[in-house]
Structure 1
């Protein structure tokens, strides 16, 4: 039996003629292949004591099934039976029926394709064999057998973007890929002054949709990317295809794209057989990127230093309509530029590589947004079955919160020479060291010999030998170290996110393995570790001024040179690590995976107070570091890095802190800045930008300034006959005037400059000036003449 290698692109299942059919599309060295498996039975599990009652119910409803005794138990050590069905529909009907009658079908929510793959430990790469038949553009295999394999290959990608009227009538579709880049544009080329070869002209909207399908059949991409590409571009493409009664055959094998809305209707999902669609915004969030604004203009400016030609929504719509009417070639350039920008963002961040590596590590779908719980389930569930257990059902109603990360009370002040010691992957190392694991908890609680267990917190006890999570952490840890050595940034980042998600998953009510004893045994152990770390440092004669989750801030009490600070920082880290090795070995008979590292030396460091109080703040500080001979101020949690402060305040904070850290006199600088602000020299820096997190009409009792500005903006839009812009959320830019907040695009009143002095400049200055014996109120007084 000859096996071939493939990498999984998409997975689907359905009922066909009284049985199930699973289809796995894979990419191989010889091109795309469609793997078809029929007859796999959906299953869930029931406690053996409920078997007869449940069977009677299913028989009454004529739901065909059969049961089988299994050597599996629930977490409460109750024996279960497997309940099998011929079709997905029968399994779903049975689940709903039994749940309505108070039964608990375990693992009934595991999808057929996911269970099939995870039980074979297939994560992206696979070996397959079956009965082969050549099709147009792909190879089909039936009677397929699969098994796991280490295999990956580059996937082809196209960036897609549409342009349309405000009523959703298509104008053009842009497509940018290494295979072919073009814009399919509605229009008559004979009427155009400019007719670039990369524009494909079509006579109508229906012809545009047909040309788009043909492009996909011709160039056959594995992955489609874009910006809001699912909820905007594909939602509209599906809608327009339905209007024209044209099958949107974008899938491989000329299969139709399928659209479905979420249960709440706020989000849509597109399925294209043989391909995956990855939205740029969701992808960046999944890879833990963060931006103040997620518009393509803002992200591309920040990442690439380049943006869209027009970004104001009213200008944009008017310009698009004008270009479509008068200069279609210009519209095509604009359309294609958006596609190119998205591709460049994916290239610069290695996003597609990140998703491929994540799939290789966990087996979850390439296009899965978030996916931490799914990744954990894929990795853990098959191992749990082999240990003789079925997974529990979600039980969010019994959710008990666990303590968060340890945050120490800070000691406010302006310091010289502060070093930061940081535990490397603290929560994963706690899991690995103290053997924290769902199975370990269940087995630990029933162990009758204390030497077989490790104590946790809140009643948690963990078995020393029966567990999986510590070994999974170790495998991922080694893989990440190797990825770092090989310079594989996307692979290293994927591993880091997966490892760090394990605590969050175990502490989430959305995970079937949640138990507050698991999450608490991680976070409360972290508290203990951080307190002991502080004690060890202070015993060496240094002052700990702050601690946060896994980081400890140490003041040396005087200025140290960089080499001096590096030496002491490394010595402290080595001492603490060795202390943990000896302590855990002697007191717990455990091998320590805890590793604290010397991370940063701040030559100057500010720990501010809470505004208006003497108490030290938390998660807010600033410090001056030197890298490669260049000085840089790092801000954490302060106004400079917060989007709800104006550019004026942010620029003031950067300049003021730089001057204070450098020992410069700041009196004249502060006084002049206040004068210039009051005299209108910084009007371009007075704009607030804030997000509307709810629909505009949902703000009733408390109406904050940005909501008032948004309401005013839409009142003006309505008067001008323009589309309302802020009714369903979004971002608003506004200024404070003498008559209150007004939208930036429709400013009617004089600016209230005193507001900006009192509410933007003063709080910034008050955060640092008291530590150098200065007072903003005094400095901001106007200069008085002698006569």
Structure 2
């Protein structure tokens, strides 16, 4: 136990610990040394903890200590101590810790030693992150400290109110249970000119799911909703009461700070809210010489940018979080054809903005600001409301909180799979006497393959079962004890085991054999952490499913499934191709053996992909027979694996295959123009296993109807045509009618292509695709008309194919090339399925009789 932890345990006898949920963290140098600041949300309000007795540390091998001491002394870099530790590297070399009281000394020493070829371990771990992870603190913590009286003070010039409890010399430990505190969200959106001059600022919060603030209780509407639109202009009698009129832009900014202080949000939410709204606010505050004091302690917002992207910024606000809807949806694995607010609101909520075209929208905003400000206010407020509704519909804040509680990641952290793994794994590794390797230590010439994808058997089938291994990669890690430290220990154990076998006189049973992996890997049966971490997450997910907590279940699934990717990523300090290879190559083996068992049982395996196996059971089976057979195969395979692993490896089996899908009709198509079956592309009619009398539903995977780069007509045509084929309905008249409609121009509104421009337009040099040609033509026209260039730096574009080439829909001036659409969209879709019923598109649409 650390000294600080012992102090906390002792102090609890005289001082009652309080519980809080971690909002933000920060580390910086003070006059007295390193200072860590933690902001918490507690039942009694906001709390600021000041921690001053920590030190920054990294590790070096003992053989380098003398050299390091000499270098640091020569360059006058203060060091608290060199401490020899009962720890070692993965290479088995003993290490010492170098401790510093100031961050600046830590960074100078790191740079000096690295340049002098002294290898520093864990020198990229921030002291605030180390403070938390070494105490196994994720998001919930108990704390004690010396409370400081901070009277609520107000400054009218800055519009600031300090309303929090401050504790100095704080001590913390992990809480034993997850917090159920509700964080207070505030949705924010700006409206501005093309030049970035602000017109209005919208604020929105539904109080039914937040904690009310006494300071703004007067503004709560009957619907218990907080609405504000701060608008530049003279008051209008007919305007809504949620509009707050201000004289000019500077007054707008001052009023915004007053509203924020009064509402006192824990979380700001918005759409591209950091890189647009807050970035623009910072510019406008700077323009007027105003301090952007968003922090709960009246501190200014801090900015940093992504090391890998100069276009992506992050904002740090003391005691407050900023969550961007786009980033958080992607983190939660949501997928949309477009992440525009209008499209996501339409797909999730069935509502959206009335104006879609960007140019018209901007012009409408400008016109409304000049002539109809109440309309602009309504538009501004609706954007805020849509973001709020999306967050509520998808439980994004709950997802972010649960992810933080499970991993120790900051709530506003984008991605962070590697950091999450580090938070969970590193303190356990230290307690076993190891320091973590550095990035690059595990590099070798070995390459681990991806998931196993079987060659498919193309055809139109009746009765196809799909059997899926439940979380295959995590279950392989659990079963075969795959673990970074376990690999190191396993190699040692295997060497000892082999040595004992050579020594004929050694009959000790204490030397056990390790579990054989791939590429020369062996894993310890007892010395490991990752299998246990996954097991605990697995149990938590099972509880979440029982409680129907979708946000928690999804958060755990994402974390568990990320572990394989982490071990196979060169961006992770624990990367070793033997780890990733022992997962993926084992999965290949598992799918091949499972397929053999199924075929030995008399059924045909027609496809396999990563963790799924597709089985044709024959046309003569009823729905009930197909369902029963699926569960029989599930039981057979699970029993076989339990027995096989016990006999061959003496391991308990955590592999579990599930029967969840029955297709009454199933199409495995061929690659276009070839007789070879496709991969990751199929369609079929899926039965509801719980209610066999319900009509089957149509499902597509990887085909045109689920791709964003096919027209709406092609998608609808494919759905209708496949359904007719699957249900044995006539199709000739339907196909001919669709062709006729296209030729008559009845389907023009469904012939739009929508594609993403993934690079700057000037970067496309050879083989310029149609959507880029359309973009260049459109921006040439925009430049000629004095309009903004829309397509120069990536983004989405919608266009038609005309007789004069591709043209964006808003500048369409040529007739559509209907024959192109018939050949490339209708015929291409039809010929994906017609050959399996002995027909072809040309045969059906050719009105001339054949010669024979």
Superposition pairs of residues 154-169 of structure 1, within 5 angstroms: 154-169=182-197
Pairwise CA distance, 1:194: 2.4
1:773 to 835, 838, 841: 838
Q: In the aligned structure 1, how far is the partner of 2:544 from the partner of 2:834?
A: 46
Preserved CA contact (<8 Å) 2:661 2:687: no
Pairwise CA distance, 1:100: 2.2
Superposition pairs of residues 510-521 of structure 1, within 5 angstroms: 510-521=571-582
Q: Structure 1 residue runs of 4+, over 3 Å off?
A: 782-786
Preserved CA contact (<8 Å) 1:696 1:707: yes
Give secondary structure in 1 for the equivalent of 2:595. helix
Give secondary structure in 2 for the equivalent of 1:722. coil
Do residues 242 (structure 1) and 268 (structure 2) align?
Answer: no
* 1:107 matched residue in structure 2: 122
User: Which range moved further: 61-70 or 777-786?
Assistant: 777-786
Do residues 255 (structure 1) and 294 (structure 2) align?
Answer: no
Pairwise CA distance, 1:187: 2.8
Do residues 389 (structure 1) and 434 (structure 2) align?
Answer: yes
* 2:603 matched residue in structure 1: 542
Give secondary structure in 1 for the equivalent of 2:189. strand
Pairwise CA distance, 1:363: 0.8
* 1:748 matched residue in structure 2: 813
Do residues 119 (structure 1) and 134 (structure 2) align?
Answer: yes
* 1:200 matched residue in structure 2: 244
Preserved CA contact (<8 Å) 1:559 1:603: no
Q: 1:34-92: per-residue Cα shift (whole Å, max 9, x none)?
A: 00111411111111111122222222222111311111111111111101111111111
* 1:322 matched residue in structure 2: 367
Give secondary structure in 1 for the equivalent of 2:318. coil
Give secondary structure in 2 for the equivalent of 1:253. coil
Q: In the aligned structure 2, how far is the partner of 1:384 from the partner of 1:767?
A: 54
* 1:347 matched residue in structure 2: 392
Q: In the aligned structure 2, how far is the partner of 1:699 from the partner of 1:60?
A: 54
Q: In the aligned structure 2, how far is the partner of 1:472 from the partner of 1:309?
A: 48
Q: In the aligned structure 2, how far is the partner of 1:604 from the partner of 1:115?
A: 55
Preserved CA contact (<8 Å) 2:229 2:381: no
Q: In the aligned structure 2, how far is the partner of 1:90 from the partner of 1:175?
A: 43
Q: Which runs of 5+ in 1 are unaligned?
A: none
Pairwise CA distance, 1:562: 2.2
Cα RMSD (Å): 1.5
* 2:220 matched residue in structure 1: none
1:21 to 22, 35, 44: 35
Preserved CA contact (<8 Å) 1:6 1:125: yes
Preserved CA contact (<8 Å) 2:442 2:574: no
Using the size of structure 1 for normalisation, the TM-score is 0.98
* 2:497 matched residue in structure 1: 449
Superposition pairs of residues 353-432 of structure 1, within 5 angstroms: 353-395=398-440, 398=443, 400-432=446-478
* 1:94 matched residue in structure 2: 109
Superposition pairs of residues 216-365 of structure 1, within 5 angstroms: 216-263=260-307, 264-365=309-410
Do residues 604 (structure 1) and 665 (structure 2) align?
Answer: yes
Q: 1:304-356: per-residue Cα shift (whole Å, max 9, x none)?
A: 00001222110111000011111111111101101111111111111110111
* 2:631 matched residue in structure 1: 570
Give secondary structure in 2 for the equivalent of 1:442. helix
Preserved CA contact (<8 Å) 2:682 2:702: yes
Q: In the aligned structure 2, how far is the partner of 1:36 from the partner of 1:782?
A: 83
Give secondary structure in 2 for the equivalent of 1:252. coil
Preserved CA contact (<8 Å) 2:442 2:577: no
Pairwise CA distance, 1:396: 8.1
Pairwise CA distance, 1:619: 0.3
Q: 1:136-182: per-residue Cα shift (whole Å, max 9, x none)?
A: 31100001000000241111111111111100011111111125633
Preserved CA contact (<8 Å) 2:229 2:380: no
* 1:30 matched residue in structure 2: 44
* 1:176 matched residue in structure 2: 204
* 1:677 matched residue in structure 2: 742
Pairwise CA distance, 1:265: 1.6
User: Which range moved further: 623-632 or 131-140?
Assistant: 623-632
1:649 to 699, 714, 718: 714
Q: Which runs of 5+ in 2 are unaligned?
A: 1-14, 153-162, 213-224, 499-511
1:56 to 60, 70, 73: 70
Preserved CA contact (<8 Å) 2:480 2:515: yes
User: Which range moved further: 628-637 or 596-605?
Assistant: 628-637
Q: 1:530-552: per-residue Cα shift (whole Å, max 9, x none)?
A: 00110010011000000000000
Do residues 702 (structure 1) and 767 (structure 2) align?
Answer: yes
Give secondary structure in 1 for the equivalent of 2:297. helix
Q: In the aligned structure 2, how far is the partner of 1:56 from the partner of 1:281?
A: 51
User: Which range moved further: 298-307 or 151-160?
Assistant: 151-160
* 1:588 matched residue in structure 2: 649
1:144 to 156, 163, 170: 170
Q: How many residues align?
A: 785
Pairwise CA distance, 1:563: 1.6
Q: 1:189-214: per-residue Cα shift (whole Å, max 9, x none)?
A: 43x25222111111111111111111
Give secondary structure in 2 for the equivalent of 1:142. strand
* 2:547 matched residue in structure 1: 486
Pairwise CA distance, 1:784: 7.5
Q: In the aligned structure 2, how far is the partner of 1:676 from the partner of 1:577?
A: 53
* 2:795 matched residue in structure 1: 730
